């Protein structure tokens, strides 16, 4: 897995929003990479910066009020942050697809499904009109929609939620991008539909070799889907590793807390879930030290003052926690 | 769709009947009656009352009126000698409608453009100017707008005729005067609606597709933002096309506007009823067209109406 070539690298990304209340430091020095054909999970609770990070990749956050303070996003050797308008549009059209959280509101209610898919090819001169329609119908079949000719002519409100999310995936995939970013793609769907959509994404990854960035707050989704995981907290990456390492050799207290707070089938009736007490840090004035220190039951004096260094536990496994520091061994 | 329009037409006829009935009895409740001029002798006044059927029971008069209405006859005016209400509407409505259409074209086109520009350049100078126009337009009464236009363009700079309605250059000032309020309203609503739509998730989807800003605005934003504008246009169109008392008086245009007001002051029963029925049916028609337009713009409405 680790031998796979990197196709997207995010380096020291810092992204903030200027608001009337002050500057919100949404993404604070985030680095990770995405490799060819993998499913990378980004997990964290609401407001930890995972969506903003993902939207930074396509520069979908409104700028202003948002702005990049630092960092680079490298795709095929090119920095997305330095792209000109035209290049950026091209990048969005061809290289990266994006599936949003709520399929109910993410499709234009006044446009037919077919037109919304075909629109992706609007600025491309290398495909003819009949090819475009053929591609649109094919992608609809590929995402598991039956009776495609009819669906092609329908409007979004005539479809169910699960079907709309399939359409969103179709839109994201139609130009055969090398990465698709799914921002909580199943949060607004019911559980059976969720399973179908996740299976579909997995199957599409196998068939097309597309890398998937899967943003979620649901560790169940992570366990089912991902090869590698990035755990975010307070605008920072607190732990990364392959799926086995995250679940079985959990290093960061936050990740441990997340794991303890999910229900499991093998639990006893008398077992209770352990929530993480407290609330995430205020990103208007984020703490100097570890963002999790205030909620961490193993916090030490140093945690309040200094942001932990990266500790590398294996080739893939990295965490930012003072407990992993040499001097803290044995605590 | 046809079934839907049919249903709406039935509802329209019912509301029209209700309108006629209410107005018919209401005008009789007004103090005074049409034939009170001091010039009329008792005998003449009685003859007139007999001629118009005032000596019959009210309910008989009502059904007589309905019967005449079904033949398209609004009856004689009780004030203007030898003129039927149909004549008066026939002579004055073309002027009002002509002026109204010009004003509407101006108000809708300029209003939409201002609203869109304003929303696209939110917080910039152009937005400020557009908002200012909108505030002035909605808060300044039309007799002031009309008078100012006449003063500056007609008298001070002598560019355009001050009044009357004799050719294209005569139509410009009253059209602007009549359009101003609607223009301001359209631009205000369009701006607000554009700003709301731009926050929608599907706009983000469109950006993620790599579409150009122009395409996103034209295809995704405007079409979805225009609905609230259509809503207000129904009653506005009816009101503007059937003439307005103030603008028509100021610019000495022989339109319908003044007859509304005068008919009430004169206790001219047939005129009041005729005008009300005419305006009422026009209003109902405009609202029907608006409802149909909804379906054209927004496919979700089409399904609901089946």
Per-residue pLDDT tens over the stretch B209-228: 888 888 899 889 998 999 89
Answer yes or no: are the C-beta atoms of A231 and A259 closer than 8 Å.
no
Query: What DSSP assignment string belongs to A262-279?
Result: S--TT--TT----PPPS-
Per-residue pLDDT tens over the stretch B180-207: 999 999 999 999 999 999 988 899 999 8
Q: B273 to chain A nearest CA, in Å?
A: 42
Contacts of A88 in chain B (CB under 8 A): 210
pLDDT recorded at residue A42? 92
In a domain, B34, yes or no: no
User: Are B210 and A89 an interchain contact pair (Cβ–Cβ within 8 Å)?
Assistant: yes
Q: What's the longest Cα–Cα distance across chain B?
A: 85
Q: What is the spatial order of strands in the sheet that A310-312 belongs to?
A: A96-99, A179-183, A211-216, A39-43, A228-233, A236-242, A318-320, A310-312
The pLDDT of B274-293, averaged and rounded, is 88
In a domain, B185, yes or no: yes
Position A166 pLDDT exceeds 90: no
Contacts of B300 in chain A (CB under 8 A): 109, 155, 157
Task: Say if residue A65 is preceded by a cis peptide, omega within 30 of 0.
Answer: yes
Q: What is the CATH number of the domain that holds B170?
A: 1.10.3720.10
Q: Is B124 touching A (CB cutoff 8 A)? A: no
In a domain, B177, yes or no: yes
In a domain, B152, yes or no: yes
Q: Which residues have CB under 8 Å from B292's CB, separation 6+? A: B5
Q: Is B262 touching A (CB cutoff 8 A)? A: no
Alpha-carbon gap, residue A290 to A237, rounded angstroms: 11
Position B260 pLDDT exceeds 90: no
Q: B206 to chain A nearest CA, in Å?
A: 9
User: Are B201 and A100 an interchain contact pair (Cβ–Cβ within 8 Å)?
Assistant: yes
Among candidates A60, A98, A106 on the partner chain, residue whose Cβ is nearest the Cβ of B202: A106
Percentage of residues in chain A having pLDDT higher than 90: 8
Alpha-carbon gap, residue B107 to B174, rounded angstroms: 12
User: Are B209 and A93 an interchain contact pair (Cβ–Cβ within 8 Å)?
Assistant: yes
Q: B198 to chain A nearest CA, in Å?
A: 11
Alpha-carbon gap, residue A219 to A217, rounded angstroms: 6
User: Are A110 and B212 an interchain contact pair (Cβ–Cβ within 8 Å)?
Assistant: no
Position A331 pLDDT exceeds 70: no
Label residue A192 exposed, middle or buried (CB < 10 Å: 0-12, 13-18, 19+): exposed
Alpha-carbon gap, residue A93 to B208, rounded angstroms: 7
Q: Which residues have CB under 8 Å from A209's CB, separation 6+? A: A36, A37
The pLDDT of A227-232, averaged and rounded, is 91
The pLDDT of A218-234, averaged and rounded, is 89
Choose, out of A99, A110, A215, the residue to mutate when testing the contact with B (most B CBs < 10 Å).
A110
Query: Picking from A221-235, B43-57, B81-95, B114-128, which range would have the lowest pLDDT averaged per residue?
Result: B43-57
> Average pLDDT, whole number, for chain A?
85
Contacts of B303 in chain A (CB under 8 A): 157-158
* Res. A235 pLDDT band, cuts 50 70 90: confident
Domain total for chain B? Answer: 1
Distances (CA, A) of A302 to A282, A299, A328, A329: 20, 8, 11, 14
* Res. B6 pLDDT band, cuts 50 70 90: confident
Q: Is B122 touching A (CB cutoff 8 A)? A: no
pLDDT recorded at residue B296? 82
In a domain, B61, yes or no: no
A89's tokens: 């549009």
Contacts of B202 in chain A (CB under 8 A): 105-109
Q: Is B224 touching A (CB cutoff 8 A)? A: yes
Compute, in degrees rounded to 10, the torsion defined by CA atoms B253, B256, B261, B264: 150
Distances (CA, A) of A185 to A36, A165, A194, A258: 21, 7, 8, 20
pLDDT recorded at residue A1? 46
The pLDDT of A138-155, averaged and rounded, is 87
In a domain, B238, yes or no: yes
CB atoms within 10 A of CB B75: 19
Position B304 pLDDT exceeds 80: no
Alpha-carbon gap, residue B183 to A8, rounded angstroms: 50
User: Are B303 and A158 an interchain contact pair (Cβ–Cβ within 8 Å)?
Assistant: yes
Contacts of B211 in chain A (CB under 8 A): 89, 119, 122-123
Alpha-carbon gap, residue B73 to B273, rounded angstroms: 11
DSSP state of A81: G
Q: Is B7 touching A (CB cutoff 8 A)? A: no
User: Are B208 and A89 an interchain contact pair (Cβ–Cβ within 8 Å)?
Assistant: no
pLDDT recorded at residue B100? 93
pLDDT recorded at residue A174? 85
What does residue B276 show for φ and ψ, rounded to 5 degrees?
-65, -45
Answer yes or no: are the C-beta atoms of B21 and B70 closer than 8 Å.
no
In a domain, B252, yes or no: yes
Q: Where are the alpha helices (DSSP H) in B71-167?
A: 85-120, 125-139, 142-149
* Res. B5 pLDDT band, cuts 50 70 90: confident
Position B79 pLDDT exceeds 60: yes
pLDDT recorded at residue A125? 73
The pLDDT of B277-298, averaged and rounded, is 86
Which of A253, A221, A250, A239 has the alpha carbon at shortest distance from A312? A239
Among candidates A94, A106, A110 on the partner chain, residue whose Cβ is nearest the Cβ of B299: A110
Alpha-carbon gap, residue B130 to B113, rounded angstroms: 10
Position B305 pLDDT exceeds 60: no
In a domain, B76, yes or no: no
Label residue B271 exposed, middle or buried (CB < 10 Å: 0-12, 13-18, 19+): buried
Alpha-carbon gap, residue A144 to B219, rounded angstroms: 28
Q: B3 to chain A nearest CA, in Å?
A: 21
Contacts of A91 in chain B (CB under 8 A): 210
Q: A155 to chain B nearest CA, in Å?
A: 7
Q: What is the spatial order of strands in the sheet that A22-35 belongs to?
A: A22-35, A6-19, A66-75, A78-79
DSSP state of A280: P
Answer yes or no: are the C-beta atoms of A251 and A313 closer than 8 Å.
yes
Choose, out of A80, A108, A109, A173, the residue to mutate when testing the contact with B (most B CBs < 10 Å).
A108
Alpha-carbon gap, residue B246 to B104, rounded angstroms: 17
Q: Is B123 touching A (CB cutoff 8 A)? A: no
A13's tokens: 């990304």
Choose, out of B195, B201, B205, B300, the residue to mutate when testing the contact with A (most A CBs < 10 Å).
B205
Which of A214, A203, A212, A200 has the alpha carbon at shortest distance from A167? A200
Alpha-carbon gap, residue A222 to A229, rounded angstroms: 8
* Res. A330 pLDDT band, cuts 50 70 90: low
Q: B213 to chain A nearest CA, in Å?
A: 10
A69's tokens: 């303070």
| Whole-structure pTM value | 0.83
User: Are B209 and A120 an interchain contact pair (Cβ–Cβ within 8 Å)?
Assistant: yes
Q: B225 to chain A nearest CA, in Å?
A: 11
Range of the domain at B214: 85-269
Label residue B239 exposed, middle or buried (CB < 10 Å: 0-12, 13-18, 19+): middle
Q: B144 to chain A nearest CA, in Å?
A: 40
């Amino acid at each position: 897995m680790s031998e796979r070539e990197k196709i997207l690298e995010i380096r020291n990304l810092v992204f903030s929003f200027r608001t009337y209340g002050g500057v919100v430091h949404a993404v604070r020095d985030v680095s990770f990479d995405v490799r060819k054909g993998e499913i990378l999970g980004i997990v964290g609770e609401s407001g930890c910066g995972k969506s903003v990070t993902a939207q930074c990749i396509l520069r979908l956050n409104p700028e202003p009020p948002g702005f990049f303070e630092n960092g680079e996003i490298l795709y095929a050797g090119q920095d997305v942050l330095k792209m000109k308008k035209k290049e950026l549009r091209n990048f969005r059209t061809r290289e990266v697809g994006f599936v949003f959280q709520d399929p109910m509101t993410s499709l234009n209610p006044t446009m037919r499904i077919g037109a919304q898919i075909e629109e992706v090819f609007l600025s491309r001169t290398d495909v003819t009109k009949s090819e475009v329609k053929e591609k649109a119908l094919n992608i609809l079949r590929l995402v598991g929609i039956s009776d495609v000719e009819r669906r092609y002519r329908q409007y979004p409100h005539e479809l169910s939620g699960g079907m709309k999310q399939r359409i969103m995936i179709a839109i994201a995939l139609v130009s055969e991008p090398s990465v698709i970013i799914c921002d909580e793609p199943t949060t607004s769907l019911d559980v059976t539909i969720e399973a179908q959509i996740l299976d579909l994404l997995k199957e599409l990854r196998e068939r097309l070799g597309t890398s998937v960035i899967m943003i979620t707050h649901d560790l169940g989704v992570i366990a089912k889907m991902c090869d590698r995981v990035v755990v975010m907290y307070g605008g920072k990456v607190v732990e990364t590793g392959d799926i086995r390492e995250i679940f079985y050799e959990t290093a960061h207290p936050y990740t441990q807390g997340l794991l303890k707070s999910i229900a499991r089938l093998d639990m006893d009736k008398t077992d209770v879930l352990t929530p993480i007490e407290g609330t995430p840090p205020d990103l208007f004035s984020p703490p100097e030290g570890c963002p999790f220190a205030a909620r961490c039951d193993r916090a030490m004096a140093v945690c309040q003052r200094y942001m932990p260094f990266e500790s590398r536990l294996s080739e893939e496994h990295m965490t930012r926690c003072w407990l992993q520091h040499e001097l803290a061994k044995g605590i | 769709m046809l079934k839907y329009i049919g249903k709406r037409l039935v509802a329209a006829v019912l509301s029209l009947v209700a309108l006629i009935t209410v107005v018919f009895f209401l005008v009789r409740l007004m103090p005074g009656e049409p034939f009170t001029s001091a010039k009329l002798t008792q005998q003449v006044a009685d003859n007139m009352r007999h001629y118009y059927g005032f000596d019959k029971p009210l309910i008989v008069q009502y059904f007589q009126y309905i019967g005449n209405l079904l033949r398209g006859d609004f009856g004689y005016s009780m004030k203007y000698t030898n003129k039927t209400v149909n004549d008066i509407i026939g002579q004055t409505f073309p002027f009002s409608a002509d002026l109204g259409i010009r004003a509407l074209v101006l108000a809708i086109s300029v209003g939409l453009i201002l609203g869109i520009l304003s929303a696209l350049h939110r917080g910039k100078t152009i937005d400020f100017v557009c908002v200012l126009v909108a505030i002035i337009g909605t808060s300044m009464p039309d007799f002031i707008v009309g008078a100012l236009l006449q003063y500056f363009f007609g008298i001070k700079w002598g560019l355009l005729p001050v009044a009357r309605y004799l050719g294209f250059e005569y139509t410009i000032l009253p059209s602007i005067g009549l359009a101003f309020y609607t223009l301001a309203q359209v631009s205000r609503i369009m701006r607000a609606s554009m700003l709301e739509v731009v926050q929608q998730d599907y706009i983000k989807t469109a950006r993620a597709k790599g579409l150009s800003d122009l395409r996103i605005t034209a295809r995704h934003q405007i079409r979805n933002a225009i609905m609230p504008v259509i809503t207000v246009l129904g009653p506005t169109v009816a009101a503007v096309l059937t003439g307005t008392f103030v603008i028509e008086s100021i610019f000495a245009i022989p339109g319908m506007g003044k007859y509304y007001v005068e008919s009430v002051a004169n206790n001219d029963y047939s005129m009041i009823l005729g005008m009300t029925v005419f305006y009422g049916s026009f209003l109902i028609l405009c609202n029907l067209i608006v409802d149909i337009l909804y379906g054209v713009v927004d496919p979700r409405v089409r399904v609901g109406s089946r």
